[in-house]
Each structure stands twice: as C-alpha cells, then as structure tokens.
Amino acid sequence: MPERGLYDRGMAVRRAVLGDAHVDRSLARASDFDRDFQEFITKTAWGSIWTRPGLDRRTRSLLTIAMLAALGHDGEFKLHIRATRNTGVTRDEVKEVLLQAAVYAGVPAANHAIALARSVYEEMDGEETGASAS
C-alpha cells in the first residue's frame, strides 16, 4: 500500500474519532511550522495504529483516555473526552477509567482529570442546548 494510503486511511479514522469540525479547523490553521507534524501524526497515530483491527475503537478510546490522564497531557485529554461522542464511550465509563487511574497514577492526576472531563462535558451540554435553541 502506498504511503498516500497511510495518510488517507489515517485522515479517515482521525475524522471519524475527533469529528470533521475539529479536523477541518486543524487543517485550516496549519502553518509551515506544524504542517509536517500534522502529517506525521495523521500517518502514525491514526493511519498506523488507530486503523488496526485488533481492538475496537471504543477500547482504544478508553485506553487513550487512561494514558493521557496518567501522563497529564491536558489538551489532548480534553480532545479525547470530546471524542467520546464518536467512540461510544459513556460518561460513566470515563468516571470508572479515572477511578482506576487514581490507583495507578495517583490521586492528584485523577482528580485533575475528573475536573477537566467534567468541564468538557459541561461545554458539550452547553453547545447542544445552544444548538437546539437556535
């Protein structure tokens, strides 16, 4: 399979998980400085790993949320909480993942992630209300 295929398959799963709105915004904002990086992520994280059949997308979403909470990568954690809309991970499941993280990564890492996840859910609820009101 040609490398272009790797990028295209990566872009397809990236859009399916993160949503078209987020990806379109990223592409529109790309500059000379980060264009190579965006392409690298699309091929590697999305094209090479998220496309693999060995685990379903919901499980990859759970694992990613756990690792991002454990390692304290806040921005990417919030992105993947938002993506649960597309991966089918429920709020109750995220709650359980973060309780599990409290044991393995420590209480402060989990406590912080709980607050971040809650704020993302509140944003999402606000957007839906806003959308239905308009």
For the window 82-101, what string marks contact with its own copies as x by the rule CB under 8 A?
Answer: ---------xxx-xxxxxxx
Among 10, 13, 17, 60, binds its own copies (CB under 8 A): 60
Instruction: Give least dist CB 74 to its own copies, A.
Output: 8
Tokens 């756990």 belong to residue: 66
**Nearer to its own copies (CB atom), residue 23 or residue 98:** 98
In order of 36, 81, 86, 126, 133, the CA distances from 130 in angstroms are 36, 20, 20, 6, 5
**Nearer to its own copies (CB atom), residue 99 or residue 127:** 99
Q: What letter would DSSP give residue 33? A: T
**Nearer to its own copies (CB atom), residue 29 or residue 134:** 29
In order of 54, 70, 100, 110, the CA distances from 77 in angstroms are 23, 10, 16, 12
Q: How far apart are CA 43 and CA 114, in angstroms?
A: 30
Among 17, 62, 81, 83, binds its own copies (CB under 8 A): 62
Q: How far apart are CA 79 and CA 100, in angstroms?
A: 20
Give the binding site for its own copies (CB under 8 A). 1-3, 5-6, 31, 33-34, 36-37, 40-41, 43-45, 48-49, 52, 54-55, 59-60, 62-64, 66-68, 70-73, 75-76, 91-93, 95-112, 114-115, 117-118, 121
